[in-house]
Amino acid sequence: MRRDGGGDGRGRRRAGPRAGCRLDDGRRSRERLDQPREQRRRLVPEWDPEAFGRLSERVARFLGTGRFIVWMTMIIIIWVVWNVAAPKGLRFDEYPFIFLTLALSLQASYAAPLILLAQNRQDDRDRVTRERERKQNERSIADTEYLTREIAALRMGLGEVATRDWIRSELEDLVRDLDERRDGHRGGDERGGQAGAAQDGAGRDG
């Protein structure tokens, strides 16, 4: 009975890893690391954020120029004059110019987000530039402090180094001392010679 139970247990234990291997093989067959993943279909269209940002900046720059104001003014004037002076069969937007109002509202509704997006991109660039300038200023301050400490150390070291004037003054003092000692020895020798001569004369007299 134990053998049967052991056999069943072993059979179950062996069946488990095999099933796991089959699942692993299935997963490996579905997810290959040496091949790119298949792109999933999305309901929302994909776009390049960088390209869209550049387009928004171009539109924002154009909307902020005098050329855009002149062109828009000319279009509005032509629109109003045409729908007032043209024959009724050719008028497409009579007074109170509802279609023109809708067009201007649509243009404003698209222009505002594009301008905000361009401003956000400019703010991001300004923040990166400020961060870069801050780091550069920190490096400049650190370099300046290092150079200041080095210059102070050089000054302290130069204060302990013998200069040309100091060596010259020391040599002059040594020469003066030697001259004085030499003069002193000469005076002592002369005095000793005179004393010896006096003693010799006294001996002769005696």
State the DSSP string of 27-56.
Answer: HHHHS-TTSPPPPPP-SSPP--HHHHHHHH
pLDDT per residue over 98-117, tens digit each?
898 999 999 888 888 888 88
Burial class (CB in 10 A: 0-12, 13-18, 19+), 125: exposed
* Contact between 75 and 23 (Cβ < 8 Å): no
* Contact between 91 and 82 (Cβ < 8 Å): yes
Instruction: Work out whether the CA dihedral 179, 184, 185, 191 comes out positive or negative.
Output: positive
* Contact between 83 and 92 (Cβ < 8 Å): yes
Q: 64 by DSSP, 3-state: which?
A: coil
Element (H, E) at 199: helix 164-205
Q: 206 by DSSP, 3-state: which?
A: coil
> For position 13, what pLDDT does the model report?
46
Q: Which residues of 35-63 are buried (b: 16+ CB within 10 A; e: fewer)?
A: eeeeeeeeeeeeeeeeeebeebbebbeeb
> What confidence tier does 154 reach under pLDDT thresholds 50, 70, 90?
confident
- Letter for the amino acid at 28? R
**Of the ranges 1-10, 69-78, 164-173, 181-190, the best mean pLDDT one:** 69-78
> What confidence tier does 14 reach under pLDDT thresholds 50, 70, 90?
very low
